[in-house]
Amino acid sequence: MTEPSVSIVEVSPRDGLQNEDAIVATADKIALVARLVSIGATRIEVASFVNPRRVPQMVDAEQVVAGLPDDPRVSYIGLCLNERSVDRAIASRLGARGVDEAGCVIVATDNFGIANQGQTVADGIVANRAMIAKANAAGMLAQVTIAASFGCPFEGAVPQARVLDIAEMMAEAGAQEIAFADTIGVAVPSQVGEMFLRAYERLGRAFRLRVHLHDTRGMAPGNAWAAYQAGCRTFDGALGGLGGCPFAPNAAGNVATEELLYLFHRSGVATGYDLAAALAANTWFAGVMGRPLPSRVGRAGDFVAQNTIQRERQVA
């Protein structure tokens, strides 16, 4: 198999499910993770260590983590919003595999930060510094996602300089990776490309950056390509395009993993994933959810594979 040129972080077990009203069974979440591993995922966001009263879908976080496949090729991520969350992530590793990465979050605006986790930007900077230090001390990879990097549902446009300042502070605090999140799906490719170019200027080309995209306005695949052209090589995706933030009005799901695979594979960029297996996993999980999943590639299929089958039939 060709060595992957990009890495896709699969977020469907956490970000994909957190906004669902019907609680998905623990066994189905664990089965989903196993399916994701089988299609090529090597980094998976599996749970959120948050107050279940705020996000009921994540009430079984510890049970899900305890049942994960113990595959040394895979790094598991737990979302953390405060030091208590990091403590739970660390505790998941006691006597078990547990999660490997603490996915910390800071919001780039005060109003959204208060709605999402009860923090202003200044509060979030202080909290994330402590969270990063705690995760690093426990031997975990500490990464930070900057939510609302490209726009806020309450404050509108977000100054790029503010987002880059936050990224620089988080890197100085010891974050080993930083993600820019288009949490409500308002970004356009020129904006995304510019963000990554400026971030690499500040942090250096070797620093690990990631992009987290929502497809509210149909821009997510184009935004992913703009990030790639600017040097980004790590992308969040959710099987089937599931997702949405409970505290972001009108936000749609994540960019579908299948659409990232289609984009990159047809562009000659290796991902390490099997698109046919991802489409089969989409069909399986649609059965679990009781409805078709939003992914457009999931509905339309792989053009290359379909074209090949048609040619083979003509020859026969």
Catalytic sites, residue numbers: 245
Please give the helix or strand (H or E) that residue 76 lies within, else none: strand 75-80
What are the backbone angles phi and psi of residue 223, rounded to the nearest 5°? -65, -40
- Alpha-helical (H) ranges within 92-184 are 110-117, 121-137, 160-172
Tallying the residues shown for the chain, one arrives at: 316
CA 309 vs CA 166, 172, 194, 246, 316: distances in Å: 50, 52, 41, 42, 11
**Burial class (CB within 10 angstroms; exposed 0-12, middle 13-18, buried 19+) of 309:** exposed
Tokens (6 digits) for 160: 């790029």
CA-CA distance, 259 to 295, in Å (whole number)? 7
**What SS3 class is residue 150?**
coil
CA 42 vs CA 4, 35, 116, 132, 302: distances in Å: 11, 12, 28, 22, 22
CA-CA distance, 256 to 10, in Å (whole number)? 10
* Tokens 């990631």, residue located: 210
CA 107 vs CA 114, 115, 145, 179: distances in Å: 9, 10, 8, 11
